[in-house]
Amino acid sequence: MFTNVSSISANFYVSYFPRRDKDRYRERDDRHRDRDRERERDRDMDSSRVASGPPVASFGYFKQSPIQQQINPFTNLPHTPRYYEILKKRLQLPVWEYRERFTEILMRNQSFVLVGETGSGKTTQIPQWCVDMVRSLQGPKRAVACTQPRRVAAMSVAQRVADEMDVMLGQEVGYSIRFEDCSSAKTVLKYMTDGMLLREAMNDPLLERYGVIILDEAHERTLATDILMGVLKEIVRQRTDLKVIVMSATLDAGKFQVYFDNCPLLTIPGRTHPVEIFYTPEPERDYLEAAIRTVIQLHMCEEEEGDVLLFLTGQEEIDEACKRIKREVEDLGPEVGDMKIIPLYSTLPPQQQQRIFEPSPPNKPNGAIGRKVVVSTNIAETSLTIDGVVFVIDPGFAKQKVYNPRIRVESLLVTAVSKASAQQRAGRAGRTRPGKCFRLYTEKAYKTEMQDNTYPEILRSNLGTVVLQLKKLGIDDLVHFDFMDPPAPETLMRALELLNFLAALNDDGDLTELGAMMAEFPLDPQLAKMVIASCEYNCSNEILTITAMLSVSGCKNASAAAFSSFYHHHFFILKWCVSHTDHESTQWCYDNFVNYRSLMSADNVRQQLSRIMERFNLPRRSTEFSSRDYYINIRRALVTGFFMQVCFSCSSVESVCDHVFVWERLQ
């Protein structure tokens, strides 16, 4: 058995954990500082109070126990046997002990904060209770929205809840993610990414369709969630019938409570068991190598049964680790137990994502333990609960977006996780029984070098899309918008400047007709401008194809090559593949190192963008390939959107405002 991680990890050394420049995000004007002081004073109030109000109404279906229901209220058919099998598991979730308390708070308050540890059942059960309430009090025309920060969570949770409610996914329960909408007019519960709800608000400013809106995983502080909180805070003042629930998996939820005018706070514990933490005595030079060795040694030497959860930073790293782990397990021989290795990241198709819920391989007759190893990004920190995980391996890194407003560059960097993230990762090991967490970094690094919490995304992202959406929502005074954490003024000004250069905003900062059209595209403003401009240059079909490929990770390399050289076959790879769905076309993709699944996803994106163009009567045209203007027109459309990224040769090395030297030729 393991006694020290040093015996199972690689003997490498790393010198430091990256630190962030905290001073960069401390800039606040007087108004923001005054508001923060007021909020800090308010936090002394009782965090668990329930606002006074009338007694809880007694209404039928919501008060009826699910075990008493014989007829499905959504289909008017008897419940299936599977419904009752799932119901037994639902009733064992910790959240069910708080159903009456939840009902009381929800009925008496327009907004409140709910803290529930991962595995408590809050993401699946709370929205169903809200559906019961909305149907009983507001009628069938109103629905419930539950936002998720990640697409994979929205899809997988929607499927699970559809099974629990004994309905078909896409009917009463659906989901909506970027470039995919699996819902209908019958949908009463919709799981969606936070960005999709923000996009709905652009066409329905008061979100009249919904009676309850739930912001789940709010502790992750994504860009869209932060904007939604400000928008919903204003909507609840105008709609007294709307209820807003902010759900978090971390106990530090007082900031949300104060932000929503000291609303009530309900805390629901999860089923947690003790988790033993192991640290490396020395920093690891190669955390991927150390992680793979830890998995192999754990599988060989650990006498306890239980599955393994390994956190890595991205798809490429995860795929590489899965291949190497599989190869090394096969080399161990038949005496070692079987291992099922499952990757998990956002771009996997839904069917493959569901593999994480498959059972572990059975033990062998010689007693060798079979294990399931899930190799995941940080999506498994809080968004999904994987039963059976007893061992967690945490290298301590994750990918985060970081934006430099001075040079207008947004990068996806591998950085050290925060203490809060490390605690969430360790907690995955104690869901079903006592577990172990192997941290591939030193205890000193955890205590002294890791920051307490991850910086909110709004403090480290390009705000061009956010500003455009806020303008489309009719919010013109961005300076006084109630951000929970106001972004740096320079970042905000750069976003306004960019949109003005793209003609999305006029010189007075008002949204133009072009800007309103750009806001309807689920794209970066520069890509949206490029798509719209392509109609003028008679190359909209080609630009649509490239834009769709840029929106699908598996196609980015091919589309980047198309941008750099404009070889025409890149433009027609997508068209050729989707027009041949037989085995020969998939074999062609395999032979030419093209990801067929990614191309099919890009085709779906292209179709959605085409429908948006049709709605605005934007023509889809192509220049004859034999024409001398074929490549020129595509370049023109590209530069229309990305002219601010154009490099030019200059003979002088004098500093020019807003220009950055990217290369200097040696004489």
Residue 438, beta-bridge partner list: 278, 393
| pLDDT tens column, 427-441 | 889 887 899 999 999
Distance between CA atoms of residues 175 and 161, nearest Å = 11
Distance between CA atoms of residues 459 and 402, nearest Å = 9
3-state secondary structure of 89: helix
Distance between CA atoms of residues 79 and 77, nearest Å = 6
What pLDDT, on the 0 to 100 scale, is given for residue 576?
52
What pLDDT, on the 0 to 100 scale, is given for residue 596?
72
| pLDDT tens column, 527-549 | 999 999 999 999 999 899 888 88
* DSSP helix, strand, coil percent of the chain (3-state; round to 5): 45, 15, 40
Looking at residue 311, what DSSP letter applies? E
Encoding tokens for residue 545? 């194809």
Residue 410, beta-bridge partner list: 403
Handedness of CA 251, 252, 257, 260 (dihedral sign): negative
| Residue numbers of the chain with a pLDDT score lower than 70 | 1-68, 251, 553-585, 588-595, 649-667
Distance between CA atoms of residues 186 and 521, nearest Å = 26
The residue type found at 473 is: L
Encoding tokens for residue 650? 């200059």
Distance between CA atoms of residues 445 and 17, nearest Å = 7
Q: Is the distance from CB of 50 to CB of 110 less than 8 angstroms?
A: no
Q: Is the distance from CB of 153 to CB of 383 less than 8 angstroms?
A: yes
Q: What is the largest CA-CA distance in the chain?
A: 85
Burial class (CB within 10 angstroms; exposed 0-12, middle 13-18, buried 19+) of 59:
middle
Handedness of CA 185, 190, 192, 198 (dihedral sign): positive
Distance between CA atoms of residues 495 and 148, nearest Å = 26
Distance between CA atoms of residues 268 and 264, nearest Å = 13
For residue 306, which of 424, 436, 438 has the smallest C-alpha distance?
A: 436
What pLDDT, on the 0 to 100 scale, is given for residue 631?
85
Give the β-pairing of 173-177 and 180-182.
Answer: antiparallel
At residue 304, φ and ψ (nearest 5 deg) are -85, 145
Question: Listing from the earlier edge strand, what are the strands of the sheet with 275-279?
Answer: 275-279, 435-439, 389-394, 307-311, 371-376, 339-344
Q: Is the distance from CB of 147 to CB of 225 less than 8 angstroms?
A: yes
At residue 273, φ and ψ (nearest 5 deg) are -125, 160
